[in-house]
Amino acid sequence: MADIAAPNATVLAAGSRSGLHKLMQRKSTIAFLMALPLILLIAILVAYPAGYAVYLAMLNKSMSKFVGFGTFEFILKRQAFWDVVYQSCLFAISAVIFKAIIGFVVAHFVHNIPAKGQRKWRGMLLVPWVIPPAMSTLAWLWLFDPSYSAFNWIFAHFGISAVPWLGEAGWARFAVILVNIWAGAPFFMIMYLAALKSVPEQLHEAAAIDGATWWQKIWYVNLPMMRNIIAITALFSLIVTFANFDIVRVLTNGGPLTATQIFATWAFKVGIESGDIPQGAAVSLFMAPILAIAAAFILRNISKRGSEV
Amino acid sequence: MAQVTLRKVIKKYDEVLAVRGVDLDIADKEFIVLVGPSGCGKSTTLRMIAGLEEISGGDIAIGGDVVNDVPPKDRDIAMVFQNYALYPHMNVYENMSFGLKLKRTPRQEIERRVKQAAQILDITELLDRKPKQLSGGQRQRVAMGRAIVRDPKVFLFDEPLSNLDAKLRVQMRTEIKKVHQKVRTTTVYVTHDQVEAMTLADRVVVMNAGLIEQVGSPHDLYHSPNTKFVAGFIGSPAMNFIPCQVEQAAGALRLRLNDKLAMPVPASRTNRYSSVVGKPNLVLGLRPEHIMETRPHTESDQHDFEVPIEVVEPMGMETLVYFTINGTEVCGRINPNAGGVAGQPMKLRADLSNMHLIDDTTGKVL
């Protein structure tokens, strides 16, 4: 028996060894191994904190007891939470729409500047995006200052009464959105400019001969050709804007009262400043499903469209 | 339907003159081909007619109206581009109807015209496809269809066949000719390929260095070129240019090619060439088909000579032989059955009744 079983065992061993060898030879295995360093990095920097946040959100306030979804249920019942949802959506959606429109228009202007002067303009227009927002927002803070506001000073010359930029709910919301647009529009501009440059010039010429006006060239040629970039840029910006922290923190710190409180600042206020870390973690986790819905909506059809061009 | 007129048209890029004063009258329904080497200004001229380039001087008129400052969309022209320039996000039907849609043509009218053009070009079954799903030849047809449905005053073609492979190019060439015979719209066609120019054109315009060298029917350009440039550009293989001298010989003239080889000038040309006897810098222009194998029967103005053959290229229906006279490589076209072996001398015959004598200093054909 033994001497019959022995050859079988060797065959099996050889088989599994060659199986491992084959596995190592497979392209997908090699690809996985090459991506492994990045996967580990993401696991450490993204997956672990995210998982830890989920864990924290399921503890009680003193972090001594596991309460499951209790904190989430509690948050859903708070009016302050629904205010934050409304304010975050208002802030992110209106800022992204205006950033996209301004970026699109400015990209067209820059695209039409002769190549020589274009670099200079491109560089200057990127400045708001390049300066760290915490710093540039300080400058805006002074521009909006109740006593020394440069805007109010100019308005005074035209006989317009002083505007309570950061002191009144509506104006404060306007101010944080304005600063976010100012800082974020250059990113849209540069993305759209790159997309615009990839539209073949001959398509514009063909459209010109087909009888298109400048507006029709933009509507029927540029816009459809740039659709994917427009969608991806908007999604990317929506995520970043929705999770914005620095501009609101510096400019209004969520005030007056809670009128400009958005997810990140409210999570910070609840979790760090008020010392309720589980509730802060739970608040920040609510961003994920909202953004997932937005992503699915913006990116629908994108792979289909990509194959057309 | 319209005639196109160019008067002293100039195009300047900064300090460089790309087109240096072009005068051209294109008749209604005519098929004109602009041909020349790259950088000769032919595409620029076409783009100025289209309105895609501003003109730096002169006048362009379409159908009698000067259009110098009229934007392309108001010139009532249609253009076919080298890389087709189809809108990638629109299907074939939308591509073809785009111009009509912008002109607010009624929908039934658009549909009728697109269907008709699709029928002419045999692309009816492609109307739902996107350009990406089409082959090069099909895209070319769609680009032409887009031009046809507009029913413009003038068709402009900018090297439309350059992106196709050799076989398809010949096929589409015939196709374009057929379409023109059906549609009969004034057409300006730019190409660098002289075969395309010869086969398609009613009249060919040969351009060189921003100027028109010669305008004429393909037959005229081939048989009586005005300049050495045209003589060398039209025809494949190209015309032979052999340095020579004209000498007086007993009341007649003689062409001397080298110490040993001299041929009598045809009697009909004695008067024409008598003024250049003894002049330097003369060149004999003789097409390869006018250098052939010897035949039993000799016509007047034919002259036999013997040279060592250097290269033999059998083409099937003919054989090209290469040899050297006076330090210049010369090509002859012989019957494939006439022999011709590389490295061995061969008796050939030059038919001087079709010769050209060129003054190499001015480049003019005498």
What's the ipTM? 0.82
Same domain, A43 and A154: no
Q: Is residue A128 part of a domain?
A: yes
At residue A22, the pLDDT reads: 78
Q: Is residue A71 part of a domain?
A: no
Same domain, A24 and A113: no
How many domains does the structure of chain A reveal? 2
SS (H, E, C) A208-258: HHHCCCHHHHHHHHHHHHHHHHHHHHHHHHHHHHHCCCHHHHHHCCCCCCC
d(CA B317, CA B334): 9
Same domain, A114 and A220: yes
B168 CB-near residues (< 8 Å, 6+ apart) = B136, B137
Look over chain A and give the mean of its residue pLDDT values, rounded to a whole number.
Answer: 84
Question: Out of A200, A210, A224, whose CB is closest to B102?
Answer: A210
- Residue B46: half-sphere exposure toward Cβ, Cα within 13 Å: 30
Domains belonging to chain B, first-starting first, are 4-225 (3.40.50.300), 240-365 (2.40.50.140)
Q: Does B106 touch chain A (CB under 8 A)?
A: no
Name the residue among B278, B310, B301 with its Cα closest to residue B350: B301
CB–CB contact A220 B87 (8 Å): yes
Q: Which of residues 35-54 of B touch A (CB under 8 A)?
A: 50-52
Report which residue type is found at A59. Answer: L
pLDDT in tens, chain B (366 residues): 588 999 999 898 888 888 988 999 999 999 999 999 988 889 999 999 999 988 998 899 998 889 998 998 888 899 999 888 999 999 999 999 999 999 899 999 999 999 999 988 888 999 999 999 998 889 988 998 999 898 889 999 999 888 888 888 888 899 889 888 888 899 999 999 889 999 999 999 999 988 899 999 999 999 999 999 999 999 888 999 999 988 888 778 888 888 888 888 888 888 888 888 888 888 999 999 999 988 888 777 888 888 999 999 999 899 999 999 888 999 999 998 888 888 889 999 999 888 999 998 888 888
CB–CB contact B132 A308 (8 Å): yes
Reported as a pLDDT band with limits 50, 70 and 90, residue A288 is: confident
At residue A17, the pLDDT reads: 64
User: Which residues from A are below 8 Å from B79, CB to CB?
Assistant: 205-206, 209
For helices B166-183 and B107-121, give the axis angle rounded to 10 degrees.
130
Residue B235 falls in which region: left (phi positive, over 0), alpha (psi -120 to 50) or beta: left
Residue span of the structural domain in which A263 resides: 76-306
Same domain, A174 and A237: yes
At residue B259, the pLDDT reads: 82
At residue A12, the pLDDT reads: 47
Same domain, A10 and A112: no
Portion of chain A with pLDDT greater than 90, in percent: 23
| A184: closest CA of chain B, how far (Å) | 29
At residue A10, the pLDDT reads: 46
Q: Does B104 touch chain A (CB under 8 A)?
A: no
The CATH number for A168's domain is 1.10.3720.10
Name the residue among A227, A264, A226 with its Cα closest to residue A246: A264
The B16-26 sheet, strands edge to edge = B16-26, B4-13, B57-62, B65-66
Same domain, A275 and A220: yes
At residue A309, the pLDDT reads: 45
d(CA A105, CA A111): 10
Name the residue among B171, B181, B186, B182 with its Cα closest to residue B140: B171
Same domain, A39 and A130: no
At residue A295, the pLDDT reads: 83
The answer to whether B59 and B66 have CB atoms below 8 angstroms apart is yes
Same domain, A95 and A173: yes
Structure tokens at B213: 């060298």
More confident residue, B335 or A4: B335
Structure tokens at B118: 């699709």
Structure tokens at A254: 């969520």
Q: Is residue A64 part of a domain?
A: no
* Proportion of chain A in helix, strand, coil states, percent, rounded to 5: 80, 0, 20
Same domain, A135 and A98: yes
Same domain, A272 and A129: yes
Judged against a pLDDT cut of 90, whether residue A258 lies above it is answered with no
User: Which residues from A are below 8 Å from B146, CB to CB?
Assistant: 206, 210
Instruction: Return the number of CB contacts < 8 Å for A and B.
Output: 67
- pTM of this structure: 0.78
Same domain, A142 and A282: yes
CB–CB contact B81 A225 (8 Å): no
Q: Is residue A67 part of a domain?
A: no
At residue A5, the pLDDT reads: 44
Average pLDDT over residues A126-137: 88
A233 CB-near residues (< 8 Å, 6+ apart) = A100, A103, A187, A188, A191, A192
d(CA A259, CA A90): 11
At residue B313, the pLDDT reads: 92
A197 CB-near residues (< 8 Å, 6+ apart) = A111
Judged against a pLDDT cut of 90, whether residue A102 lies above it is answered with yes
Q: Is residue A267 part of a domain?
A: yes
Best of A198, A205, A209 to disrupt the B interface (most B CBs within 10 Å) is: A209
Q: Is residue A215 part of a domain?
A: yes
At residue B142, the pLDDT reads: 92
User: Which residues from A are below 8 Å from B130, CB to CB?
Assistant: 308
Same domain, A80 and A47: no
Query: Looking at chain B, which residue has its C-alpha nearest residue A219?
Result: B102
Q: Is residue A135 part of a domain?
A: yes
User: Which residues from A are below 8 Å from B83, CB to CB?
Assistant: 200, 202
Q: Is residue A299 part of a domain?
A: yes
